[in-house]
Amino acid sequence: MDIGSILGLIMGFAFVAAAIMMHGSLTDFVDVPGAMVAFGGSTSAILIAFPMHKVLSIFGIVKHVFLNWGPDPREEIKRFCEYAALARRDGLLGLEKQLQSVKDPFLKRGLEMVIDNTPHDKLEEVLHIELHGLEERHALGKKIFDQLGAMLPAFGMVGTLIGLIQMLHELDDPSKIGAGMAVAMVTTFYGAFVANMVYLPLANKLEARSKEEVKVRELMIHGLVALLEGEGPRAVEAKLNAFLAPKARKGIQTSEAAAAA
Amino acid sequence: MDIGSILGLIMGFAFVAAAIMMHGSLTDFVDVPGAMVAFGGSTSAILIAFPMHKVLSIFGIVKHVFLNWGPDPREEIKRFCEYAALARRDGLLGLEKQLQSVKDPFLKRGLEMVIDNTPHDKLEEVLHIELHGLEERHALGKKIFDQLGAMLPAFGMVGTLIGLIQMLHELDDPSKIGAGMAVAMVTTFYGAFVANMVYLPLANKLEARSKEEVKVRELMIHGLVALLEGEGPRAVEAKLNAFLAPKARKGIQTSEAAAAA
Amino acid sequence: MDIGSILGLIMGFAFVAAAIMMHGSLTDFVDVPGAMVAFGGSTSAILIAFPMHKVLSIFGIVKHVFLNWGPDPREEIKRFCEYAALARRDGLLGLEKQLQSVKDPFLKRGLEMVIDNTPHDKLEEVLHIELHGLEERHALGKKIFDQLGAMLPAFGMVGTLIGLIQMLHELDDPSKIGAGMAVAMVTTFYGAFVANMVYLPLANKLEARSKEEVKVRELMIHGLVALLEGEGPRAVEAKLNAFLAPKARKGIQTSEAAAAA
Amino acid sequence: MDIGSILGLIMGFAFVAAAIMMHGSLTDFVDVPGAMVAFGGSTSAILIAFPMHKVLSIFGIVKHVFLNWGPDPREEIKRFCEYAALARRDGLLGLEKQLQSVKDPFLKRGLEMVIDNTPHDKLEEVLHIELHGLEERHALGKKIFDQLGAMLPAFGMVGTLIGLIQMLHELDDPSKIGAGMAVAMVTTFYGAFVANMVYLPLANKLEARSKEEVKVRELMIHGLVALLEGEGPRAVEAKLNAFLAPKARKGIQTSEAAAAA
Amino acid sequence: MDIGSILGLIMGFAFVAAAIMMHGSLTDFVDVPGAMVAFGGSTSAILIAFPMHKVLSIFGIVKHVFLNWGPDPREEIKRFCEYAALARRDGLLGLEKQLQSVKDPFLKRGLEMVIDNTPHDKLEEVLHIELHGLEERHALGKKIFDQLGAMLPAFGMVGTLIGLIQMLHELDDPSKIGAGMAVAMVTTFYGAFVANMVYLPLANKLEARSKEEVKVRELMIHGLVALLEGEGPRAVEAKLNAFLAPKARKGIQTSEAAAAA
């Protein structure tokens, strides 16, 4: 669960809604034809811009990235230390019982290859191909959100142009000008608000999350190779710690020292 | 046939037309001189910006990319497995009968070279030159659409400026102001709507399609080399599967397992 | 002669002039002080931005690129085949008589070096330095046009600001507002129209032409090296055909087949 | 202490406040709902765009970079010369007493490794990993400020749109139009002023500072390696001077010459 | 002296001043608080964005680049030919007398190293470090001007927003609207005019000049190495001519031929 995103979304909508309600009502900002142009138009443009199965795959990517958030690197280091201890005692086949409790398909595939005693380079090659595919899928997700963030304000402007042109044709009745312009501008508001509050920040987070997930998967590959090479728990931990920031590293060492005490 | 693009285009125009008709009529958005400036001007600028034969070649590229959409990688893998079986049984010359049923000129040229027993490196060199030319032609198509997407809003603004300047010269009759401004803004509408609904998304799709087609053509080159090397159907399949995403790969394995059952 | 550019320029101006004359007269779009700000200001900025002799050299580059358009690759391939036949019959010195009919200084210099039997690497080095200089001069031409295309709209806006500020100081007489604003906006029109119709497309064409010319000059270098190596007409043709797109290649082969028939 | 930034901030706010007070009062520029949209909205978007712990870490980075500004390269060269003299006299262990006076954790870690006689390549590897982490954290800080600088004007515009739409709904009372529009535009003012006065310049300074700090840390690594290699004070100084600009270098040499005189 | 820049500046200001005076007076364009916001604000932002000593160093860079413009490559080639002749006759020490007439510190340092018979690679290394520092200082100068060119229009807009907000608060007196808006827009005029007429073109020229100076300095390094290697005047000239454009080269050869005649 990604608390920052949810907090940000709630806060952002709350600030804007509160500001609106201080001087008027939210209903001034509802306009069905405008929403059709802004959201319908930009979504249609995305369908043209990207192959359909890739547009549809974005929901899966988003769900995966924001809900089932990737494994904690510190947990993974602990896990590999345990596996290393197990492998020392019972051999690589001793890991076979652990296989059922592993849910992450990437790690599972890697462990199976370790148990089958696959050579290092083969294991690394296969897992790096998987990892590269993952990166490409995440990059596409980011690109689609970036395009949505560019298209929505554009179609918001298209909607405002439609509203203004229609209002100008009815200029004879000056009492309608204000309301007409207000409605016309609501579409620009949709584009500016949703693109900057939702699409563009999500594109950014997707990129940051992808980098973090890739880093943990690379840690896993190093851990699996260490298991294959029969390294002990201490050596595995020293090796994998290089993937952590200095502060995170200290955290582990301290808890370890505490455990040793 | 590219369903996503057609669906997107229909949906996009439908959303905008529906939004317009909720408050007025489509005829408010027809302006012949404005269309001359926006579409005529931007097309003229493209004629200056790119060599003429390249501007004309864009229709061919678009038709090729959107209608005769490139071969399915899974079909091609199947085809190469069959060819490999044939070549095992009857030798490379056994492929000669297949040549007539191959319509894709790239694949046909490759197969001819395989039948002539052309050395690997020569075959790869010739086909990569072809592939590189294809990529360049696609990239130019994308660039022309990108420029159209930049020029159309610019000339839309030029049209609006013309309309506003003419309206301001007739300010004496205030009853004409509204209609004059409405007409002036229609040109901006043309630029913003068509560039974002048609040109820019098509430029994007062209790029995505080009990448997919290039990937399949690279699969073909690997397949042709495997035929030259006399590999069996299983080895060919294993080799070419690396070009598929994990999910697509599973699909083939499952259907194979089903066939084996 | 570059028909596309001339056609595009005529069409572009015609479309805009026709659209203007449908509703008013071209004289509404003449404003001397505005033109001084837009064209005078942007040209002055270019004088500051680039060394003076380079700004002046742009006329030569443009004339060279648009009028004396570079040699046709197919003609050049034919020419090298003839030279190769000549050299076979009469030796490299036999090319000496051809030297007078060659007007292109790049080719002339190359041929002289071939006749002097200059070593390959020396010939290639000298001609590549020339070619690199050519590319740099073309790139600078493009950059100056790009900057003009950015500066003209900026000074167009400056002119409009001047007009608006002056108009606002005379607001007491409301009958002058319309004409004042109209005049003010003409400068923005100059910037948007001329930049998008002339400067930016010319920058683009310059780049495309430069790429084509460089390609032909590289073909020439390969042809000259082939002459030095004493290759026959058939070998020369096969070698240089690699520089043509598949379609262009077929054209030559067909005409050859026709000639052989 | 970074005097330039503090001076710039004070001057910038003073210029703008003085300009405002020449024609009116600062209270015209206070708008609570507008501030909620502009500052609240952009901050919320940043929370979505970046992982939460990274958003929070920005305060530490800013404080570190602007207050405890990194060590002076000339001081560090002097320090390494002294250490080199000490090491010559008392051996590497003689540096142990100096360790307590070193506060910079990067340098401290390096000195400890020198005293432990860690091999060169190991010392360089460990410290470069630390340095790379530092660079990445600074780059992220810059990116967050850049995004704030892009988001704040966007949400400023959202706030203005809200204000305009609400004002247009109350057009019946023309006396309120002016005040309504004034309030609406205050949000755009917040976005344009704070982004250009605070966020974007800070992003720039962060980058410049990061480059300077990284350069000093690289100087330190070279100095530590020189200590390990047992080089004398003169050799150490000659080596490290390469990190200084010519003028700065002269400064040291002059003071040295003065000391020698 | 850089005539192009001075001519461009005079012409640009003349065009704009003339256009203004055709319809009004220059005093309409004077606004003290607006200038404080636009120029004061943007300068303050630059103080925050760059380390203070670098902002101050910009005056030196500009003076150096625009007034004491770098040496003429043709003069330098002549000089090195003379030095080569001298060195042939009297040995490297014969150059010692020339040292006093050399004012350029870069060349002086190089000559001193030649007289000291410094090895090639050492001489090249030292001078390239100097050259790299020069390039970095020029690049920073360009970056500061680019940022000024971006900040000035931004603060121009801030000034206009301030003016508009204050005007809208006094809407009760309609006779003041025009003058109020005029004053507000003057700040935008400052930003658009000065950024496009001064800052951005200077940034461009700085870059072009820097490239030219670096080229001459590289020519010097090659010349110094040739002196070290004891090459004769003809060989030195042939070597250094490669740094000139073909036309410039011809100029030298012609004058030489004339001298020989």
Mean pLDDT of chain D: 86
What crossing angle do the helices spanning A200-228 and D41-49 adopt, rounded to 10°?
20
Tell me, yes or no, if E205 comes closer than 8 A to chain C by beta carbon.
yes
Mean pLDDT of chain B: 86
In whole angstroms, what is the distance from residue E71 CA to residue C97 CA? 44
What crossing angle do the helices spanning D200-228 and D73-90 adopt, rounded to 10°?
20
Specify whether the CB–CB gap between A235 and A248 falls below 8 A.
no
Least confident segment among B2-16, B49-63, D233-247: D233-247
- B250 pLDDT band, cuts 50/70/90, is low
Q: What is the pLDDT of residues B93-113, one digit of tens each?
A: 888 888 888 888 889 989 998
For residue A247, what pLDDT is reported? 65
Specify whether the CB–CB gap between B236 and B139 falls below 8 A.
no
What's the DSSP call for residue B119? -
E127: closest CA of chain D, how far (Å): 12
Contact yes or no for B51 and C201 at CB 8 A: no
- Stretch D11-39: mean pLDDT: 92
Residue D161 scores a pLDDT above 90? yes
The ipTM estimated for the assembled molecules is 0.82
Chain C neighbors of E202, CB-CB under 8 A? 48
Measured in whole angstroms, how far is the alpha carbon of residue D168 from the centre of its chain?
Answer: 44
The residues of chain A scoring below 70 in pLDDT are 1, 65, 68-70, 174, 246-261
Residue B252 scores a pLDDT above 60? no
Nearest to E150 by CA among C159, D13, C154, D160: C154
CB atoms within 10 A of CB C175: 8
C83: closest CA of chain E, how far (Å): 27
Contact yes or no for B169 and C179 at CB 8 A: yes
Contact yes or no for A48 and B202 at CB 8 A: yes
Q: What is the pLDDT of residues D57-105, one digit of tens each?
A: 888 877 876 776 667 888 899 999 999 999 888 888 888 888 888 888 8
Chain D neighbors of A181, CB-CB under 8 A? 168
Residue D169 scores a pLDDT above 60? yes
The 3-class secondary structure across E70-99, one letter per residue, is CCCHHHHHHHHHHHHHHHHHHCHHHHHHHH
Share of chain C above pLDDT 90, in %: 40
Residue D203 scores a pLDDT above 60? yes
Residue B70 scores a pLDDT above 50? yes
* Of C33, C44, C151, Cβ closest to residue E23: C33
Specify whether the CB–CB gap between B194 and B152 falls below 8 A.
yes
In which element (H, E) is residue E167 found? helix E120-169
Share of chain C above pLDDT 70, in %: 91
How would you label C30-59 residue by residue, b for 16+ Cβ within 10 Å and e otherwise? ebebbbbbbbbbbbbbbbbbbbeebbebbe
Specify whether the CB–CB gap between E98 and E79 falls below 8 A.
no
D169: closest CA of chain E, how far (Å): 18
In whole angstroms, what is the distance from residue B230 CA to residue A11 CA? 64
Tell me, yes or no, if A154 comes closer than 8 A to chain B by beta carbon.
yes
Tell me, yes or no, if B3 comes closer than 8 A to chain A by beta carbon.
yes
Query: Does residue B149 come out as left (phi exceeding 0), alpha (psi in the -120 to 50 range) or beta?
Result: alpha
Least confident segment among A58-72, B62-76, D153-167, D247-261: D247-261
Nearest to B155 by CA among B191, B193, B208: B191
3-state secondary structure of A186: helix
In whole angstroms, what is the distance from residue E190 CA to residue E35 CA? 8
* Of B33, B40, B55, Cβ closest to residue C22: B33
For residue D73, what pLDDT is reported? 86
Tell me, yes or no, if D3 comes closer than 8 A to chain E by beta carbon.
yes
What's the DSSP call for residue B70? P
For residue B249, what pLDDT is reported? 65
For residue D185, what pLDDT is reported? 93
Mean pLDDT by 10 residues, chain E (261 residues): 85 94 89 94 94 86 72 88 90 85 88 89 86 86 94 96 89 74 92 96 90 89 90 85 69 46 41
What's the DSSP call for residue B95? G
How would you label B146-155 residue by residue, b for 16+ Cβ within 10 Å and e otherwise? bbbbbbbbbb
Least confident segment among B209-223, D4-18, D31-45, E57-71: E57-71
D103: closest CA of chain A, how far (Å): 17
In whole angstroms, what is the distance from residue D146 CA to residue D138 CA? 12
For residue B224, what pLDDT is reported? 93
D230: closest CA of chain A, how far (Å): 29
For residue D261, what pLDDT is reported? 41
Chain D neighbors of E168, CB-CB under 8 A? 178-179, 181-182, 185
In whole angstroms, what is the distance from residue C92 CA to residue C114 CA? 7
* Token reading at C33: 């002080």
Q: What is the pLDDT of residues A8-22, one digit of tens each?
A: 999 999 999 999 998
In whole angstroms, what is the distance from residue A154 CA to residue B200 CA? 12
**Interface B:D, ≥3 CB–CB pairs < 8 Å:** no
The 3-class secondary structure across A72-88, one letter per residue, is CHHHHHHHHHHHHHHHH
* pLDDT by position in tens, chain C (length 261): 578 888 999 999 999 999 999 888 898 899 999 999 999 999 999 999 998 888 988 888 778 767 766 678 888 999 999 999 998 888 888 888 888 888 888 899 899 989 988 888 888 888 888 888 888 888 888 999 999 999 999 999 999 999 999 888 877 776 777 778 888 999 999 999 999 999 999 999 888 888 888 889 999 999 999 999 888 888 888 778 877 776 666 555 444 444 444
**Interface E:C, ≥3 CB–CB pairs < 8 Å:** yes
Tell me, yes or no, if E22 comes closer than 8 A to chain C by beta carbon.
yes
Contact yes or no for A48 and B8 at CB 8 A: yes
In whole angstroms, what is the distance from residue B77 CA to residue B96 CA? 19
* Of E37, E129, E165, Cβ closest to residue D186: E165
Residue D199 vs residues A194, B92, B123, D17: alpha-carbon distances, Å: 22, 68, 57, 19
Contact yes or no for D48 and A205 at CB 8 A: yes
Q: What is the pLDDT of residues C84-113, one digit of tens each?
A: 999 888 888 888 888 888 888 889 989 998
* Of D55, D151, D164, Cβ closest to residue A196: D151
In whole angstroms, what is the distance from residue D29 CA to residue D184 CA? 10
Contact yes or no for B178 and A171 at CB 8 A: yes
For residue C260, what pLDDT is reported? 43
**CB–CB contacts below 8 A, D to E:** 130
